[in-house]
Amino acid sequence: MDDDLGPWPWATLPGPDYHAESIYRLEQERIFARSWICVGRADEVAEPGAYLTLDVADEPLVILRGADDAVRAFANTCRHRGTRLLDGAGTVRAITCPYHAWTYGLDGQLRGSPNVHMEDGIDRDEIRLWSVPLEEFEGFLFVTLDHSAPPLRSQLEGDADSPLALARYAVGDLVVGAHREYEVAANWKVVVENYHECLHCPTVHPELVKIVPLYRSGEVEQDGQLLGNSMGEGLTSFTASGVSTLPPLPGLDETDIHTFYGVYLFPNLILNYHSEMVNAVAIHPAGPGATRIVSDFLFSREAVEAPGFDPSEFVDFRDLVAHQDWDVCERVQRGVRSRFYTAGIYPRQERWIAMFNRRYLAARDGARPAVP
């Protein structure tokens, strides 16, 4: 891989790529509007009529489970005059526009238009909410604004980190046992780049390097080990003690129990595989210098439904590491705005960031990162 990138060190992205409004708009259109984007878990819309709303590439969407139990995605926009239909999350029997009360069924079909009839030129059978492609993988919901996009599996197979290699974790059978959200004052790429290197770990994460000794060397992947890192002697868990009282997930062998695996799905999903749970981190750009992070902790249903279930040892440790990361990410964001920061450098330990930059630039404008 190093040879493919050219001699190291490699150049970082230019400073303005992390804060310029024009770059943000470009990548929203060329990356987030054309890729499959993770928008949540199917469990979030578990019952018919359950919905959630969010923006993808600044496009307001509603994710909704229909009466037929199918989950669909629609533009969150009334076909009459463009009014935003729903906010937040909840349950509805039908979608009613808050402006003129045009009403749509859970399948998106127009069902009612008060005081406006066919003789007024409105054929309800011909009008429905604009549909957005949606696919499910391992309990995650993905959408794309590009109706010509290849199937989601094609994107997953093309990822350098493929969750297909970790199918034994059966993430689709897991349920959310804890949930955290963060607002980070940093560009989404700064967050992704932070995940792809551990040169910062000895300084920023003293608790973490006790759990994964490899991180003391600044590396993020062990030689000869696909996607994974061995944990310290006798350790099994990302907790303060390195162990936990919960049993391991079914289907894991002894190596898995003592290994942490990390996967990044371009552009917005990180999956952290642990012996007792999987931590899913969704990254949602909220502007050139802001990112919303949604972190779900997925456990077996048996563990969550057991009396006295308490995920705090996992959540507290991950929350500590997250806040340590967000602090340095926000410092990066403030620093890259300097007129002196035209570009930085990546040493060999940050080759995974250079690979991410290459994929990012290829998706954004077909370019490759420059070599100094």
Q: Is residue 371 part of a domain?
A: no
| Secondary structure (3-state) at 274 | coil
Domain match, 176 and 194 both: yes
Domain match, 195 and 344 both: yes
Q: What is the number of structural domains in the chain?
A: 2
pLDDT tens for 163-185 read 999 999 999 999 999 999 999 99
Domain match, 179 and 312 both: yes
User: 367 pLDDT band (50/70/90 cuts)?
Assistant: low
Domain match, 128 and 175 both: no
Q: CB of 48 within 8 A of CB of 23? A: no
Percentage of the chain exceeding pLDDT 90: 87
Give dist(CA 142, CA 135) in Å, integer. Answer: 5
Percentage of the chain exceeding pLDDT 70: 95
- Containing structural domain, residue 19: 2-33+161-365
Nearest in space to 124 (alpha carbons), one of 138, 109, 137: 109
Give dist(CA 285, CA 59) in Å, integer. Answer: 12
Q: CB of 138 within 8 A of CB of 171? A: yes
Domain match, 103 and 130 both: yes
Residues 294-304: what's their mean pLDDT? 97
Domain match, 17 and 79 both: no
Domain match, 256 and 168 both: yes
Torsion, Cα 335 338 341 342, to 10 degrees, reads 130
Give the helix, strand, coil percentages of the chain, each rounded to 5.
Answer: 35, 25, 40
CATH of the domain at 100: 2.102.10.10
User: 226 pLDDT band (50/70/90 cuts)?
Assistant: low
Domain match, 257 and 324 both: yes
Domain boundary residue, one of 122, 152, 182: 152
pLDDT tens for 90-133 read 999 999 999 999 999 999 999 999 998 877 888 888 999 999 99
> What's the confidence (pLDDT) of residue 370?
42
Q: Which DSSP string do the residues of 149-215 spell out, in sequence order?
A: PPPHHHHHHHSSS-GGGGGGG-GGG-EEEEEEEEEESS-HHHHHHHHT--TTHHHH-HHHHHH-GGG
Domain boundary residue, one of 102, 122, 152: 152
Domain match, 132 and 229 both: no
pTM: 0.94
Residues 226-241: what's their mean pLDDT? 92
Give dist(CA 366, CA 67) in Å, integer. Answer: 43
Q: Per this entry, what is the length of the chain?
A: 372
Query: Is a pLDDT exceeding 70 seen at residue 225?
Result: no
pLDDT tens for 251-284 read 999 999 999 999 999 999 999 999 999 999 999 9
Domain boundary residue, one of 152, 184, 201: 152
Exposure string of 2-20, with b = 16+ CB inside 10 Å and e = fewer, is: eeebeebebbbbbbebbbe
